[in-house]
Structure 1
Amino acid sequence: MIIVTGHAIAREGYQEAMQKLAVEHVERSRAEPGCISHEVSRDVRHSRRFVFIERWSGMAALQQHFRLDASRQFAHSMAQLSEGSPKMDIYQAEAIRLSLEPI
């Protein structure tokens, strides 16, 4: 599984525009092959900071996502609405099942 984390800080006065753009992107991404989950949230301590968490079935699915014109346009638009550069980190991970049995 591939996990993508990221965040962007909206320029003052552009929070609602960024939220609309982010929600549209998340909804579109969720319908793509290989997308396990894709979420956006606002930081409760910094309302202009939008946090993205994505899970993809594999690197091929994520690369296909990045190739889409809609994804490229989203990245460009986010950069224009952001204070500074948006940040993104990509991780390869595997799920771990915990047993909560008493010791």
Structure 2
Amino acid sequence: MLLVMVRFKVKTDKREALLELAQKLVDNTVKEEGYVSYELTEISLASNEFMFVEKWASKETLDKHGSTDFFKEQSGHLAQLLDGEPQTEVYVLGDRLV
């Protein structure tokens, strides 16, 4: 299983547009094969920082998600709302070490 965290800051005047776009992304993504969880979390009210926290069954299902026309289109719209580049981290979740 993969854990994906995409942290980003949205332009101050684009907050509502981001929330609308994120809802579309979540609503569409939860229908995809291999989706485990997909949500938007706000990091700080004052700084307009958010994070998508996603879990995917496999790298293949994550790759398929990233290659859909819907995701590509919405990612383009999202990029216009951001203040800077998003930071993405991907972790492999497996057996517990302790």
Separation (CA, whole Å) in 1 of partners of 2:95 and 2:79: 32
**Aligned residue number for residue 91 of structure 2:** 91
When the two chains are superposed, the root-mean-square deviation of aligned CA atoms in Å is: 1.8
**Aligned residue number for residue 59 of structure 1:** 59
- The alignment status of 1:72 with 2:72, answered yes or no, reads yes
Separation (CA, whole Å) in 1 of partners of 2:46 and 2:4: 21
Checking the alignment, whether the CA contact within 8 Å between 2:35 and 2:61 is kept in structure 1 is yes
Checking the alignment, whether the CA contact within 8 Å between 1:8 and 1:78 is kept in structure 2 is no
Code of the residue aligned with 2:19 in structure 1: it is: Q
Deviation (angstroms), 1:46: 3.5
Larger radius of gyration: 1
Separation (CA, whole Å) in 2 of partners of 1:41 and 1:82: 15
Instruction: Give the TM-score normalised by structure 1.
Output: 0.85
Unmatched runs of 5 consecutive residues or more in structure 2: none
Determine what percentage of the aligned residue pairs are the same residue.
26
Checking the alignment, whether the CA contact within 8 Å between 1:9 and 1:49 is kept in structure 2 is yes
Helix, strand or coil at the partner of 2:84 = coil
Code of the residue aligned with 1:6 in structure 2: it is: V
Code of the residue aligned with 1:13 in structure 2: it is: D
Instruction: Give the TM-score normalised by structure 2.
Output: 0.89
**Aligned residue number for residue 101 of structure 1:** none
Checking the alignment, whether the CA contact within 8 Å between 1:78 and 1:86 is kept in structure 2 is no
Checking the alignment, whether the CA contact within 8 Å between 1:7 and 1:87 is kept in structure 2 is yes
Separation (CA, whole Å) in 2 of partners of 1:8 and 1:38: 16
Separation (CA, whole Å) in 2 of partners of 1:19 and 1:12: 12
- The alignment status of 1:8 with 2:11, answered yes or no, reads no
Separation (CA, whole Å) in 1 of partners of 2:46 and 2:30: 26
Deviation (angstroms), 1:44: 3.4
Runs of 4+ in 1 over 4 A off after TM superposition: none
